Each structure stands twice: as C-alpha cells, then as structure tokens.
Amino acid sequence: MEKTSCRGQCPEYKVSFYSNARAIYEGNSFAPRTGRYYARLPEEKIKKLNDMVREAQLDSFRDSYLSLRPDLPTTYIRYISGGNIRIITDYDNAPAGLKKFEEELEKLTESLSWKKAR
C-alpha cells in the first residue's frame, strides 16, 4: 500500500508485505516514522493479512476511483493476482469495502515492531 501526500498534512508512505513474512516501510512527509524500516510478521499477523485479503475480495474492485476534487491524497493497493501485478488507485469515492481494507492495512502496519534500516 502506498499513500501519497496532499496539500495539507497527509502522511506519505509506502508499506510492502512479502510472502516470506517480511515487511518494508518507507516513510516520508507527515508519516508516523520517516526513512526505511523492516519488520517480520509473526505467524498470527500473516494469518490476519491473508484473511484480510481474502475477505476484501480485491479482484471485485475497479482499477481506479477518481474525482475532480483537487489536492486529495491517493492510496495505491498493489498485489499479485493470477500471476499479474494489479494496482487499485483510490483517489476519492472508493467503496466502503476498499476503505475498510485500507484501514485494516494501516492498523496492521502500526502494530508491527519496525526496525530502522541501516
């Protein structure tokens, strides 16, 4: 998941989760932490992430949710589906199911024990 900046103080960061239980966080302006961090997902968090992805049914969402409203942050969800990389762009007007998935990813991200990269 990647969150972009806005005209205000929106946190800008990118977090990636990998099948080997590793996670990488890259924080920029207004993010809870800035710089590059690493974490390892415990087994229960891997299960939670897999459950979240399955329940969200990401393949059911459109590729993008846009509007003409200026200066909003954008959230990108990138994942592999059927061997292909898919990107969902949420600028505005995304359905509740996608917003819920984004919020759950944020909570999972904040619950991890991050270590600053050297």
Taking only the tens place, the pLDDT of each residue in 64-118 is 999 999 999 999 999 987 889 999 999 999 999 999 999 999 999 999 999 999 8
Residue ranges making up the domain that contains 75: 2-113
Mean pLDDT for 4-30 is 96
Does residue 74 lie within any of the structural domains? Answer: yes
Does residue 118 lie within any of the structural domains? Answer: no
Give me the number of domains the chain comprises.
1
**CATH classification of the domain holding 102:** 3.30.1560.10
- CA distances (Å), origin 39, targets 23, 78, 101, 112, 117: 5, 19, 20, 7, 10
- Which pLDDT score is estimated for 82? 80
Query: pTM surpassing 0.85?
Result: yes
Cα 115 from Cα 32, distance rounded (Å): 13
SS3 call for 64? strand
Does residue 39 lie within any of the structural domains? Answer: yes
